[in-house]
Amino acid sequence: MQLPKSRRRQKLREKKCQYPGCGKIFFGIHISKYCPEHRQDRYRIRKRTKPEDVNIKNQTFKHTYTEVITMVMDCALEGCEHQFEVKIYPRQYIYPKYCPEHRNEYKRIRHLQLIGREDLIEQMKSESESFELEHGGAEGDAEDIDAIEDVA
């Protein structure tokens, strides 16, 4: 079987520009949607999503530590009494807000349903809660936070 050496030329049809508010008639192939003017980059509609707020699922812990230390923190979920260890790194300020059992949003909602706090579920879904801790970060103040210095 012999294949043709030249490609078949696509037929130009009369099309209507689909750019909002334009409606010009132009000649284009079957897949063309826009007139030559609205094919330019400046008319392209770009959809951008807003960046997610980091304080919804995490907490900001401002410190001035120069070494890696391990700190014991409480879970921020209502009714959870668990404590968990977090390694605090220099020049890093965002850390988990919830214990490993409640890091998943489904598990947080399930926990609140079990303790009967339906109002907190709606509040948690509707508003973007922000949670921030401030600490001076002097290594002599480590006694009041249950901090353990890391040797590695």
Q: Is residue 49 part of a domain?
A: no
Q: Is residue 35 part of a domain?
A: yes
Same domain, 34 and 63: no
pTM over 0.75: no
Same domain, 82 and 141: yes
Q: Is residue 4 part of a domain?
A: no
Same domain, 68 and 141: yes
Same domain, 37 and 100: no
Position 135 scores a pLDDT of 52
Among 74, 76, 77, 75, smallest CA distance to 111 is for 77
Same domain, 72 and 35: no
Same domain, 39 and 62: no
Same domain, 66 and 126: yes
Q: Is residue 87 part of a domain?
A: yes
Same domain, 36 and 64: no
| Structural domains counted in the chain | 2
Position 127 scores a pLDDT of 56
Same domain, 32 and 81: no
pLDDT tens per residue, the chain (152 residues)? 788 888 888 899 999 999 999 989 999 999 999 999 999 988 887 888 888 788 888 999 899 999 999 999 999 998 899 999 999 999 999 999 999 999 888 898 899 899 888 888 887 777 544 444 455 444 444 444 444 444 44
Q: Is residue 106 part of a domain?
A: yes
Q: Is residue 123 part of a domain?
A: yes
Given a contact cutoff of 8 angstroms between Cβ atoms, the answer to whether 94 and 60 are in contact is: yes
Structural domain of 33: 13-43
Q: What is the 3-state secondary structure (H, E, C) of the chain?
A: CCCCCCCCCCCCEEEECCCCCCCCEEEECCCCCCCCHHHCHHHCCCCCCCCCCCCCCEEEEECCCCCCEEEEEECCCCCCCCEEEEEECCCCCEEECCCHHHCCHHHHHHHHHHCCCHHHHHHHHHCCCCCEEECCCCHHHHHHHCEEECCC
Same domain, 27 and 64: no
Position 40 scores a pLDDT of 92
